[in-house]
A and B are shown apart, each in its own frame.
Chain A
Amino acid sequence: MTGPGVGGTHHDGGTAANGTTGGEVGVGPGPRLPPDRLGWLYALVLASLISVGISAGGLYFLADRSLSRPWAAAVDVCTRAHPIEAAAQSAARDRCLAGQFRRRGVVMLAGAGIALGAAGALVLVLPLADRRRLRRRLTVPGAQERFADLCGRNGLAARHRPRLVVAAPPVRQAYTTGGVVGRPTVVLPAAVAVAHGDPARFDPVVAHELAHVLARDVAWASAVRALIWLPVPAVLAAGLLEVAFFGPNATYLTALGRATVVAVLTALLAAGLLRRREREADRYAASAGHAERLAALLRAGTAGPTRRRRLLARHPDPATRAAALGRPADPPGGLTHGLAVGAVAMLATGAADALVRDLFLTAQAAVGPPVAVCVGAVLLSLGLLPALVRRAAAGPAGWWRPVLGAAIGFAVTAFLATALPVPGSSGVSARPDVSVALLVAALAGPLAASVAGLCVLLARLVVARRPGSVGWRTATYLVAAAAGVAVLWPLPALASVPTDGHAARNWLVFALPRSGWPLLALLVPVLVGLLLRGAGQGRRRPPRRWDRGVVAAVLTAVLIGAGAAVWRTELFPPHTLAEANRQAQQRWLLCALTGWAVLVVLALGRRAGVGRALTAGWAAGTAAALLQYAHALATGRADGWDTAEAHLLAPLAWLGHLVAVTLPFLVSRPAVPGPAPSSPGGARAPVAAVAVLAALLAVAVLGPGIPGTYAPFPVAGRTGAAAASTAPVDPPAPDATPGPTRSAPGRAHPRRPVTPAEGRRGAGAVGAVLPRGWRVPPDRAEGGGSRIDPSACRPLAEDSYLDRLGGAERVRERARYATAPGLTATASAELVIEIRSHAEPVPASVLAEAESARRACPRFTARGTDGAAVRFAVDAQPPPALGEQSWRVDYRLSAGSGRARITGRSAFVIVRAGHNLVTVYANAVSEPLDERLLGAAVEAAVAGLGD
């Protein structure tokens, strides 16, 4: 039992409170709450672990050249054929890229699976390792008896009672270990066990460890404690190996930076979880009556972690722990909590977006945003709400802290995620831009604050009206998550704001109401209304009667808002489509502002809490929208579901977002109306305030208009025109207009010598058959001679069979075309056309000699002056039936080895026509050789001679 003078402070374990909504327990005896199980924190760690896995999978994909080179080549080829600037071709581009992106998505998914598997393995392995360390055990019967007694007092009897092991030196710390199945094991060092007769030394330590057992997270904590040291070293090691082997690479370094940020945040979060867990155990031990003894033990303890390791430490230093026991516990859900939740929610949102975009590229518009937004909303709301409920139960607390924390965490992580994009996502290119990232962060932060503000309101309402009800709490969690989806729905559109503000505004005005997702926010006023009908803790249920002041305020606002909308339409009917569009948006805005005015006035006043103000605002906005829709129906301006969408859903969607961004500013206001009865005299003030505010807003909307709120109908081609001005300017091909391939069947090829002009024309004629993305590249210096090995291949490699004609050559014209450098500069193709004309007819023996050279050389290696070697395997395809005679040789190129091997194809075609030779060299690296293009080029060059 406990020592003299303190035995009475103990409570029977079986009478512990259920811990759902009770107040925080401070120092000393009192109702003992079981330790917070921190499920939300484990969920955050799990989400960030999955994010680490996805990032690591992306990193591995980039590092493995056998995977990333085909992907990069596909990006180059597909964006060449379907440029990013051509919005109309985005679907074709996505189809072209889908296969390679899916491969990357699968690798990312595998990364997430491996991360989860590793965590699962840690859960299984670490308890075994802990058990292995306990081979030297001591027998202290008195300790077993006292331990069993304390277990019973804490409600851990029979099969729930943990095992006790007394460990011999060098074990000096008590700890608890255990697997997923079976009873946990509390390990006490011998120094504690032999003190079983001294409650001051034995009981606080045991109570602390029993708190871990009661939290039922011993196995999960095993995995988390190893996670601290796993993600960062693993990511850094993989990244540094890649850099060491292949040198720094901007794309890879971007991915490495992103993965490192994710890994570091995960490690810090895991460490924070363990510290929080220990604080909870301390709190539990203190609430069991051991506060003074525990503080004494802590003050006598050894020094805490060094400053360097403090961020990753599992405990605060002993002095801080002891001091914390001496003051009331901080309510949960503070600034740090908000920061962690915001950061992880944004991390997971980005990871989910990257994964889904890759896996379902062709359907990304339909699948990507819902998945990403749902992940973010669920993590934000379910990460915040449990702690906010406990915070509300603890009494009045600073509510701005969790809201600000969530906003900052979300915004900072959005900045990092935008500044370090997943290569290949966000419009294929990966161009980090700090100004864009800052803007996205500035827009994302308020959205997170809106979700947090909503969670604060719901947490306060459910604690005030339905305390202790698991059903209502569950309903609150579900509604918060659903409403979070509605609030965060514009998040994907924010990414386009910096690059195309018109597109983002068009999306908000025309696409947002039609998506249907914002309607989830309608659950909030329904739930709030139901909660407000509850009795509240310790009070009788209020009689069901309407508050005249609130009703009058709502009616006044509806009268002004809907009246202004109808008045405008009746007195100034639109004459053009643009005017109709402008008036429609004015009506939507008027209805939304009507509800918003009611919310603000009632929430800031003393008559209604934020909850009642919210339901009243929703009622006012909905009534105004219904009235103006009824007017449109009555006057024949509305018909069918589409018009219902336009007249009803748009104002409600706008009202929802107005309410959401306003809630963070109302967190300090009472959530429920006070007990003071409303007096008729007091009802006039809110009515007057609502009337004035609604009238001012109506004048502003119908008069000068609110800047930035009006979006004209999207004009086709705007995006393309804007993009054209920013498109990189390349030297144009001689005739870059795509057109049908010209063929010259039956056309007479000139056998006579051609003039230089005719030669230039023939070489230049190839430009007409080139597809989009080809250009005349800048002149480049001819490279130095390569060393050919074996030497028998030199005639073929150096085209020396053509040298015998050199003395009689009269014309030699050359044209070179190449693909524009792609986003990843991986795939490229090239065409070189030469027209040679000679004084004498070109003898057939030239091509015979070329064929002999080809047959004599199955393969060769060309080494440049820098030592780089390119291997050529000689092959032959049928030559085109052009001219008097034609010949062709093909090469399969390869350079490098292993997974860094680069491959390509080349073809060299010679057409002999009287005095003339037409040669076409085609080369394709990391992409297939376009046989159709080669044939068309040869044909065009030969035909060009005869034009």
Chain B
Amino acid sequence: MAPYRHDGIVTEPENVGADLVVGAAHAAVGRIAPEELPVFDEVAAGWRRQLSKGHVSWSVPQGGVGFGIDVTLVTELVLQVVAAAVGEVLVLGAATARAGLLRRRRRELPAPTDAGPGLDPEQARRLREACHRHALALGLDPGRAELLADAAVGAMVDPPDA
């Protein structure tokens, strides 16, 4: 799989998993929330920073005079959905095939080295199912969850720069 390029950023090989997620998320956001594309890169960069720190903090600051209603950026949700789905389908599958053991790494998403430029139909099916399931779990309505899953898997099956 070629390194993911977006806005001139060329990632290192060890971040190729994150690149895969961000690339797929970018495609999905473009489908279901295009108005967020102007801030996508900044949000994705923040997500990468959080990822490199070892944990993702989604806690809300205590704005004591807050509006009272959480409004979540779709980009946030999509990044989480795609990351969870990729971790579940591709990383676990690759690691199990390689070592037979469940490997947990906290620092970063391990690169799915066995994953080729495209996904086989079974992987694509499982990835789509996982994306859809995680999207519903995070509160997206079924229609947008379908759109997200289709867009994300489509981007991974046929990467934009592949």
Contact = CB atoms under 8 A, between A and B. Distances in A.
Contact of A190 (B64, B65, B73): B73
B60 A172 contact: yes
Interface residues of A, number: 47
Given A140-B39, A170-B60, A191 B67 contact: no
Contacts of A198: 35
Given A191-B71, A218-B65, A221-B65, A173 B60 contact: yes
Given A138-B39, A189-B73, A190-B39, A170 B65 contact: no
20 contacts: A138-B42, A168-B42, A169-B46, A171-B60, A171-B61, A175-B63, A175-B64, A175-B65, A191-B71, A192-B71, A194-B35, A208-B67, A218-B65, A221-B64, A221-B65, A222-B64, A225-B65, A277-B65, A314-B66, A318-B68
Given A173-B71, A277-B65, A301-B68, 20 more contacts: A130-B61, A130-B63, A138-B39, A138-B43, A140-B39, A168-B42, A169-B43, A170-B61, A173-B60, A173-B63, A173-B67, A174-B71, A189-B71, A192-B71, A194-B38, A209-B67, A225-B64, A302-B70, A314-B66, A318-B68
Nearest to B60: A172
Contacts of A190: 36, 39, 43, 73, 75
Nearest to A302: B70
A400 to B, nearest CB: 32
Contact of A133 (B39, B61, B70, B76): B61
B8 to A, nearest CB: 18
B68 to A, nearest CB: 4
A669 to B, nearest CB: 41
Nearest first, the 10 closest Cβ-Cβ pairs linking A and B are A225-B64, A175-B63, A315-B68, A301-B69, A173-B66, A175-B66, A174-B67, A191-B73, A172-B70, A191-B71
Interface of B: 35-36, 38-39, 42-43, 46, 57-61, 63-76
Among B66, B67, B73: residue with most chain A CB under 10 A: B67
A464 to B, nearest CB: 36
Interface in A221-272: 221-222, 225-226
A205 interface: yes
A177 interface: yes
A195 interface: yes
A394 B135 CA distance: 48
A321 interface: yes
Contact of B69 (A173, A177, A193): A173
Nearest to A318: B69
Contacts of B67: 173-175, 205, 208-209
A136 interface: yes
B64 A226 contact: yes
A208 B43 CA distance: 26
Contacts of B71: 172-174, 189, 191-192, 201, 205
A194 B36 contact: yes
Nearest to B36: A194
Contacts of B75: 190
Nearest to B73: A191
> Residue among A197, A297, A314, A318 with the most chain B CB within 10 A?
A314
A177 B38 contact: no
Contacts of A209: 67
A226 B42 CA distance: 32
Given A301-B69, A302-B69, A170 B64 contact: no
Contacts of A172: 60, 70-72
Given A177-B63, A221-B65, A226-B64, A170 B42 contact: no
B162 to A, nearest CB: 29
B107 to A, nearest CB: 20
A272 to B, nearest CB: 14
A191 B72 contact: yes
A165 B143 CA distance: 32
Interface of A: 126, 130, 133, 136, 138, 140, 168-177, 187, 189-195, 197-198, 201, 205, 208-209, 212, 218, 221-222, 225-226, 274, 277-278, 297-298, 301-302, 314-315, 318, 321
A219 B149 CA distance: 45
Most buried by A among B42, B61, B70: B61
Contact of B70 (A194, A301, A321): A301
Given A138-B42, A194-B35, A194-B39, A170 B68 contact: no
B14 to A, nearest CB: 24
A205 B46 CA distance: 25
Contacts of A318: 68-69
A224 B81 CA distance: 38
B59 to A, nearest CB: 6
B39 A177 contact: no
A271 to B, nearest CB: 11
A201 B72 CA distance: 12
B38 A174 contact: no
Task: Name which of A138, A169, A195, A218 has the most chain B CB atoms within 10 A of its CB.
Answer: A169
Contacts of B42: 138, 168
A298 B69 contact: yes
Contacts of A130: 61, 63
A318 B70 CA distance: 11
B65 A274 contact: yes
A130 B68 CA distance: 16
A193 B64 CA distance: 20
B39 A174 contact: no
Contact of A197 (B35, B68, B76): B35
A138 B66 CA distance: 19
A221 B74 CA distance: 31
A314 B74 contact: no
A326 to B, nearest CB: 17
A757 B39 CA distance: 107
Contacts of A136: 46
Contacts of B72: 169, 172, 191
Contacts of A138: 39, 42-43
A17 to B, nearest CB: 25
A133 B62 CA distance: 9
Given A191-B73, A194-B38, A170 B58 contact: yes
A205 B68 CA distance: 10
A100 B42 CA distance: 65
Contacts of A226: 64
Nearest to B42: A138
Given A175-B65, A208-B67, A314-B68, A191 B43 contact: no
A418 B71 CA distance: 49
Given A173-B71, A301-B70, A314 B64 contact: yes
A373 B70 CA distance: 46
B106 to A, nearest CB: 19
Contacts of A221: 64-65
B55 to A, nearest CB: 12
Contacts of B76: 169
A734 to B, nearest CB: 70
A393 B46 CA distance: 52
Contacts of B61: 130, 133, 170-171
A195 B68 contact: no
Nearest to B70: A172
B58 A169 contact: yes
Nearest to A189: B71
Contact of A168 (B46, B58, B60, B74): B46
A484 B76 CA distance: 58
A297 B68 CA distance: 11
A222 B65 contact: yes
A526 B57 CA distance: 65
B129 to A, nearest CB: 26
Contact of B57 (A170, A173, A218, A315): A170
Nearest to B47: A169
A138 to B, nearest CB: 5
B71 to A, nearest CB: 4
A140 B38 CA distance: 8
Contacts of A170: 57-61
Most buried by A among B39, B58, B71, B72: B71
